[in-house]
Amino acid sequence: MFRAVMVAIEIAMLEPKTQLGGVHVILDMSGLSLVHIYQFSPQLAKLILDWVQECAPTRLKGIHVINQSFIFDVLYKMFKPFLGEKIKKCLFFHGDNRKTLTEKLSAQALTEYYGGTADIPEFPGSLFADMLFYYENEFQEFNTYGYQTQTDKEKPAH
């Protein structure tokens, strides 16, 4: 799941408007259960937040958490120690209050479900998978970026 989010952000960053304007992320926590919580360790929480705060190639404008329950509080307590000041400033908890969400984001950019007026059709998850496969060659190239380790041939002899 984490890799899929990373890839989706890489796809979004191919769009010049996203590069200039940045992004708002809506985390809809409806349906979050203890089974999901057990998938997160403190190490994974730190890995995710380090990536978001230090590596994600995007201008993060806001993280809007909606429909969170007491179960989310357990997960949030795991992430909270790793939050940097920048993330804390753009993190907003809305619960089921869509009015506070539309105060932060234009109603014209949100679907009716989120309290907005945008006429955006719902797409099946398979369409997202198709999009990921469409950009497969770009992902392979993206995975070559960063620090390279020396191969055995390049390592100095002792």
* H runs (alpha helix) in 42-97: 42-50, 70-79, 85-89
Q: What is the mean pLDDT of the chain?
A: 83
Q: Note whether 24 and 62 are within 8 A (CB).
A: yes
CATH superfamily of 26-132: CRAL-TRIO lipid binding domain (3.40.525.10)
Amino acid at 92: F
- Residue that wins the pLDDT comparison between 61 and 12: 61
- Quick one: which H or E segment has residue 139? helix 136-142
pLDDT greater than 70 at residue 151 = no
Q: Note whether 61 and 92 are within 8 A (CB).
A: no
For the chain, percent of residues with pLDDT exceeding 70: 91
Tokens of residue 143, six digits: 């995975």
From residue 143, give the alpha-carbon distance in Å to each of 3, 50, 123, 140. 11, 18, 28, 5
Each domain of the chain, given as residue ranges in start order, spans 26-132
pLDDT greater than 80 at residue 118 = yes
- Residue found by looking up tokens 């994974």 in the block: 44
Arithmetic mean of pLDDT, 119-137: 83
* pLDDT tens profile 22-41: 889 898 989 888 888 788 78
Long-range contacts of 121-130 (CB under 8 A, 24+ apart): 128/8
Q: How far apart are CA 28 and CA 113, in angstroms?
A: 11
> Among residues 6, 1, 5, 8, which one has the least CA distance to residue 131?
8
